[in-house]
Each structure stands twice: as C-alpha cells, then as structure tokens.
C-alpha cells in the first residue's frame, strides 16, 4: 500500500511540474491537452496499481479517469464542432470498459462481463444513431497517431515485463 501511495504521489508531482512549466512558458501546450495528459497518466498508473488487488472501486475509477483522458484528448486534438454529441456514447463506453476491467480482475464474476457488453453495445448504438459522430474517421486518425507513438508503447511494455519478472 505504501508503494502505491508513493507512485501516485510521484504522478501528482509530475503533473504539478507540467503545470508549473506551462505557467512559466516553458511548455506551450493548451490547458486542455495538459489535463488530458494528466488524466491519461494518472489513469494508467492507478489501473496498474489496483489490478489484481481486488480493489474494485480503485480499478473502476482508474479506468474511468484514463478513458476520460482519452475523450478529452480526442476533443482537444481533433476539430469536433459539437463535442457535446460525444457525451452519451463516451459515458456508456467508459462505464462499460470499467465493468470489463472489473471482470478482468475477477473472472468468476461474469455479471461484470455481461454488463460491459451491454453498455459498450449501447454506446456504439447511440453513436451510430446520432450519425453525427464519424467513428471511422476518428479511428483512422487515432490509429495514425498511435503509430507515431509506438516506441513509447514498446518501452512501457518492456518496463512492465521487467517489473513483473522481478516479482517472480
């Protein structure tokens, strides 16, 4: 527990440092992007720290914070004329993904899987019914951005493998 608190404290210090650097003009990014990066970083660390500990609230909250960061990043990075149309599909998807992570934490509790499938289905259904959310266009642009950052994902995967190898 003490290790978890120190890692989350380090994340908060990094986020605070980024805001201070922005305040002094060293970082020239928008506040929206900075908030989305903070949510992404905190969500990843929170999910990593709570996965496998059967702390459901922390895992669900970490997943929700991470995916909220993804939504904020998409809204900030792409030109969305009406970001309000993303609220219902995003909310349903975030809650559904949270239940899916709860299922991954405890495979014996299948109600989380069923709830997740229903909520994710309704999130895609609501996005398709509004027809104002160009999902395939977003997916293509996001995929191209992820290809630019694949070295970061490889490094994170390597660190994850090294950390898990030391535990065994």
State the Cα–Cα distance between residues 89 and 66, nearest whole angstrom.
16
pLDDT of residue 96: 94
pLDDT band at residue 23 under the 50/70/90 scheme: confident
pLDDT band at residue 63 under the 50/70/90 scheme: very high
How far is Cα of residue 57 from the mean position of the Cα atoms in its chain? 16
Other beta carbons less than 10 A from residue 30's beta carbon: 11
Domain coordinates of the chain in residue numbers? 2-133
How large a percentage of the chain has pLDDT more than 70? Answer: 84
139-145 average pLDDT score: 68
Residue 15 has, within 13 A of its CA and on its CB side, a CA count of 19
Token readout for 16 is 């605070």
Give just the sign of the alpha carbon dihedral 48, 54, 55, 58.
positive
Judged against a pLDDT cut of 90, whether residue 118 lies above it is answered with yes
Token readout for 100 is 């899916």
Return left, alpha or beta for 25; rule: phi > 0 is left, psi -120 to 50 is alpha, else beta: left
State the Cα–Cα distance between residues 144 and 128, nearest whole angstrom.
22
């Amino acid at each position: 527990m003490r290790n978890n608190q120190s890692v989350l404290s380090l994340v908060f210090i990094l986020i605070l440092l980024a805001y201070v650097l922005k305040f002094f003009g060293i970082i020239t990014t928008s506040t929206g992007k900075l908030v989305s990066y903070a949510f992404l970083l905190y969500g990843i660390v929170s999910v990593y720290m709570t996965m496998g500990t059967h702390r459901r609230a922390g895992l669900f909250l970490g997943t929700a914070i991470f995916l909220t960061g993804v939504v904020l990043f998409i809204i900030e990075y792409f030109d969305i004329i009406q970001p309000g149309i993303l609220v219902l599909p995003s909310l349903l998807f975030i809650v559904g993904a949270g239940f899916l992570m709860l299922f991954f934490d405890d495979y014996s509790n299948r109600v989380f899987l069923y709830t997740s499938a229903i909520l994710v289905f309704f999130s895609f259904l609501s996005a398709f019914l509004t027809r104002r959310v160009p999902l395939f266009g977003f997916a293509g642009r996001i995929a191209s951005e992820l290809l630019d950052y694949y070295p970061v994902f490889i490094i994170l995967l390597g660190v994850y493998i090294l950390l898990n190898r030391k535990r065994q």
